[in-house]
Each structure stands twice: as structure tokens, then as C-alpha cells.
């Protein structure tokens, strides 16, 4: 009681009980399991977001991201938010109403980039391929010649269908046609070769929760000098204060001015991203890429023995970090997923967007990309298939 008034909402009984967080093996398209070292970093003492120790951690992250992106871009940092937030930061800062942008779409992430472009008032053109089919350089070049976009966007690792998009040569085509080159690398960064500077990528974003092994909440991002010039020539202000590149560049120490408060960053997430990048640095990028390739090769061989087929037919464009597996005719994909989770506490995911109901998706990312996990997921998938076939006959 407060005076003669009673509380309109009582204390929730649920919050008086312990929180239940079971241990699961996350072999879906992300997030991946977080290594003990990175989990431990999340338990370190909270620091202020402008404390010198925090700013030093941010500086370490910038160097680590330049390494994994393979770029010398000064404007390389991590947005406080998920990979989606990285997408919005790139788009909001580089396009304005009326700009023609061209989006390559062969899965849900291309669809979402196109949707965001429309929300921002851009004149969006879509280069469409069937789900599971990568784009050829010739297709891209022809479309750029037709539409003359200010920006071309493509997804490097299309996690909804398991496609790895070749990027070599696209930057040259874009730059010859006065067009910026934007890449979504959320599902690929760290697990496959990435050379931002060599490939002429002008803007790229990713997520912390996949190969980098950190929890969701930070989005690596990088902008070239071409992208910065485009941003500085914009006629209207960025529609988001939170994602305004002027403020973010200053807060991350990417400009010449003294660092000023912009927002309260997720400090513990920064600790964990820093440790994820440290683990990649210790292993070496090439070693990390090879570990993911080797795990994927073992998975492909095991799937073949089970009589299963990969959704992406072209082996050269299969994404090692997320594999899409065709659901056999007459098989209830969801029954297999639920059975494996309930019996083994192992996550195998269904499709997403255009691939929904057509595939299962198995992720091999970061801490989870090892031969033991490949054997485990193949074993439980086989059991799930047998269970599905047995129960369907009853």
C-alpha cells in the first residue's frame, strides 16, 4: 500500500523463481556457442563507456577488425547492435532518397537490404537469382550498366540457403561505373577468405555472434574513402542519431577530434568481441579459414553417406559456415529438428525466408567448427531421420 492506494501490478511470481538456461550445442546458423574464455570476459567488472580502459579496448577491437576484414580503412569499428544494426548503419549513411541502388537477392538477406532501401526512399532495383544460386560477374556487370546505381549491395554468405558469393572483380566493375560496393558478411567473416581492400569493397558489415564467437550485440563495420566521400557529400542528415557516422567515427576515435560521449555502448559485449578477435589473431586468419573448410568438407562427406544432398549444387559456391541440406521428399523437417533438440539438446535449424520448409541448416562457426561437432551433428541427424521415418509409418 502507498497511502490508501494498492499496487495495480503485483510482483511477478515468475521472477521469484531461478532462471533456467540449459546447455545446448548450437549447430544452426547462429548464434554459435561462446568459448569459455569469451564467456569469462563477460563477467569482468563493468567500466564506464568513456573510461580510458574502455577506450583502449575499443582501439584493440579496431585493430582486430582491420585484421579480419583485411583492410587499412581508418573508419573500422563495431556498431552497438546486431548484424541488422550494421546493415542499417551502412545503408543510412550511404544512401539518401532518390538514389538508385541495385541489390543482388538470392535469399532473405538480399530481400532485407532491398526492403531497407525502400524504407529509406531509395529507388531500389533488384538483381534476382533463384535461391541457392550465386551471381556471376557478368550478370552483375550487365545490371550495373542497365541501372547505373549509386550503390550495389550483395550478401557474401547467404545463410538462408548456404551460398558463398564470389566477390573478386565486383569492386572494379562498381568503381568503373561510379558505384559503391556494399557487402553483407554476417555469416562469413572469419570463416572464409575476406580481402576488403584488395576486392575494392567500400562498405561491409558483419555480426559478432557467428565465427567471431562472441555473444550477439556488436556489429563489425568498415568504410572506404570512397564511402566516406559519399557520406560527406550527402544533402540530408542521416535519419538516425544513433547510427550517424559522424558521431560513431568520433566515439570510436576514427577522426582527429577528442572523443565525445555519443551513447552508452554495451561494455561487456566489447570485452567479449575483443577476446573473440584475440582468439582469431592467435590462431591466424588462414588457420581459421582452413579449420572451417575442413569441418565443412567432413560434413559434406557425412551427409553423402546418409543419402542427403546439399541445397547448393555448385561446390565452389557453398558457404562453409552454414550448410543448407535438402529435406528428402516425404520427410517432416520440423519433426527432425524438434526430436534432435528434445533428445540431444542440439540445434539444427530449418530454412528461412525463401528456403523455409525446403532445407535444414547446419552451422559450423567459430568454437563449433571442429571435427568432433561434425561427427555429433551427423549422428543425431541420422537418428532424427530414422525417428521421422519410423513414426511416419505408424
Query: What residues form the annotated binding site?
Result: 361
Closest CA to 99 of 69, 121, 76: 121
- In this structure, the strands spanning 346-347 and 25-26 are parallel
CA-to-CA distance for 40 and 58, rounded, in angstroms? 18
3-state class (DSSP) for residue 310: strand
Within 81-161, residue ranges assigned H as helices are 83-94, 108-119, 137-147
Closest CA to 30 of 244, 223, 213: 213
- Specify whether the CB–CB gap between 180 and 93 falls below 8 A: no
CA angle 36, 39, 44 (to 5 degrees): 125
CA-to-CA distance for 362 and 168, rounded, in angstroms? 26
**What is the DSSP secondary structure assignment for residue 14, as one 8-state letter?**
G
Cα dist. 30→210, 244, 391 in Å?
6, 28, 29
CA-to-CA distance for 362 and 347, rounded, in angstroms? 8
**What is the DSSP secondary structure assignment for residue 216, as one 8-state letter?**
S
- Annotated binding-site ranges for substrate: 361
Phi, psi (5° rounding) for residue 164? Answer: -105, 115
CA-to-CA distance for 238 and 224, rounded, in angstroms? 18
3-state class (DSSP) for residue 210: coil
CA-to-CA distance for 99 and 369, rounded, in angstroms? 41
- Which residue, chain included where needed, has cell 585493430? 63
C-alpha cell at 146: 542497365
C-alpha cell at 80: 552497438
Amino acid at each position: 500500500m502507498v497511502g490508501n492506494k494498492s499496487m495495480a501490478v503485483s510482483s511477478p511470481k515468475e521472477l521469484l523463481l531461478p532462471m533456467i538456461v540449459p546447455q545446448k550445442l548450437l549447430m544452426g546458423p547462429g548464434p554459435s556457442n561462446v568459448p569459455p574464455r569469451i564467456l569469462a570476459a563477460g563477467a569482468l567488472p563493468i567500466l564506464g563507456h568513456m573510461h580510458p580502459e574502455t577506450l583502449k579496448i575499443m582501439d584493440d577491437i579496431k585493430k582486430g577488425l582491420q585484421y579480419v576484414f583485411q583492410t587499412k580503412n581508418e573508419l573500422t569499428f563495431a556498431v552497438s547492435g546486431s548484424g541488422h544494426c550494421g546493415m542499417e548503419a551502412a545503408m543510412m549513411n550511404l544512401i539518401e532518397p532518390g538514389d538508385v541502388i541495385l541489390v543482388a537477392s538470392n535469399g532473405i538477406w538480399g530481400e532485407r537490404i532491398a526492403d531497407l532501401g525502400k524504407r529509406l526512399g531509395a529507388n531500389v532495383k533488384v538483381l534476382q537469382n533463384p535461391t541457392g544460386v550465386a551471381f556471376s560477374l557478368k550478370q552483375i556487370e550487365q545490371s550495373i550498366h542497365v541501372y547505373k546505381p549509386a550503390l550495389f549491395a550483395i550478401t557474401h554468405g547467404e545463410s538462408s540457403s548456404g551460398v558463398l558469393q564470389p566477390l573478386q572483380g565486383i569492386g572494379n566493375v562498381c568503381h568503373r561505373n561510379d558505384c559503391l560496393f556494399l557487402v553483407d558478411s554476417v555469416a562469413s567473416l572469419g570463416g572464409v577468405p575476406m580481402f576488403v581492400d584488395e576486392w575494392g569493397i567500400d562498405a561491409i558489415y558483419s555480426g559478432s555472434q557467428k565465427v567471431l564467437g562472441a555473444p550477439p550485440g556488436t556489429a563489425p563495420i568498415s568504410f572506404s574513402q570512397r564511402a566516406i566521400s559519399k557520406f560527406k557529400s550527402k544533402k540530408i542528415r542521416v535519419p538516425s542519431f544513433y547510427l550517424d557516422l559522424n558521431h560513431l567515427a568520433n566515439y570510436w576515435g576514427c577522426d582527429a577530434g577528442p572523443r565525445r560521449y555519443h551513447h552508452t555502448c554495451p561494455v561487456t559485449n566489447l570485452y567479449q568481441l575483443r577476446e573473440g578477435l584475440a582468439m582469431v589473431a592467435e590462431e591466424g586468419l588462414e588457420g581459421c579459414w582452413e579449420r572451417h573448410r575442413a569441418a565443412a568438407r567432413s560434413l559434406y562427406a557425412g551427409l553423402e553417406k546418409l543419402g542427403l544432398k546439399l541445397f547448393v549444387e555448385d561446390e565452389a559456391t557453398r558457404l562453409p559456415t552454414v550448410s543448407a541440406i535438402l529435406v528428402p521428399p516425404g520427410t517432416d523437417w520440423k519433426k527432425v529438428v524438434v526430436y534432435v533438440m528434445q533428445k540431444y539438446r542440439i540445434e539444427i535449424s530449418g530454412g528461412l525466408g525463401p528456403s523455409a520448409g525446403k532445407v535444414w541448416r547446419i552451422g559450423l562457426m567459430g568454437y563449433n567448427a571442429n571435427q568432433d561437432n561434425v561427427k555429433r551433428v551427423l549422428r543425431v541427424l541420422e537418428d532424427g531421420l530414422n525417428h521421422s521415418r519410423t513414426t511416419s509409418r505408424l
